[in-house]
Structure 1
């Protein structure tokens, strides 16, 4: 029996494509935290590749976005190929049979608006954002002694566990920075 049940958040942009046989399919990654067996152990997140075909693909394309909380029922598929160095490469992905959205329409719409706003408002940062040149300093930019060496933004502690959720929206991930979810960074 090959059955998989996963609950996680969409961590890559879902991409709807069409196969040569004119069948729609969609691919994305699902971020899933592993179970912790002790309070002191660090959180480990797996990024599982997922594919859905036909009606599931078109429905998921309309319903999910980066950060969406979703439950997936499916099967594990493996593919084996040979590289140019004659090494075998085996890849795995989950083939979706059924899915359920685990967040409200309001939460999903809020996330879509936030993503649309992020895309529509380009940010242009100054060329020397991390460095500050004193106002009355006449030295050239090639003199390294005039630049600050401290980062311009404070560091973020991702291990903080005291997160307080307030307001009507009980989704602790509603205001995640979506760029932090990209597993390729």
Structure 2
């Protein structure tokens, strides 16, 4: 079983879900003697729990996203934790957009404003963009759509397109 990072264990000390079942599952997977069998036993005893708590699990993962972005980057460790938690809570591809699109847009907009404000995307920011795309299971086109407004704003502000980590200019934009 994947061992969640020290960062995540620190996060759960200060952040609890409003849903007791989410907290119980987290407790099981972070315990020192965590096993897949213990998690399976809980899930069998609480049949259908993952479907019932999907919304709360998504909210908790969004809360963890905000926590990971406090330092403006997402480490490999944090990304791996997030991916593991999605598996633990049976979050499927498309669930974030289907159930939490507004919240995803807000997180991404906040990050894009910060990243594009200096009209230059450094390596750390480029990696963070890729990690956000992975975390929320966003297609390339959907991710590009979300960042389009800030890319255009940076270009209008005089940014060199080669410094913005974009493959093409936004549709209809002419230099």
TM-score by length of 1: 0.20
**Larger strand proportion, structure 1 or 2?**
1
Q: Greater CA radius of gyration, 1 or 2?
A: 1
TM-score (norm 2): 0.21
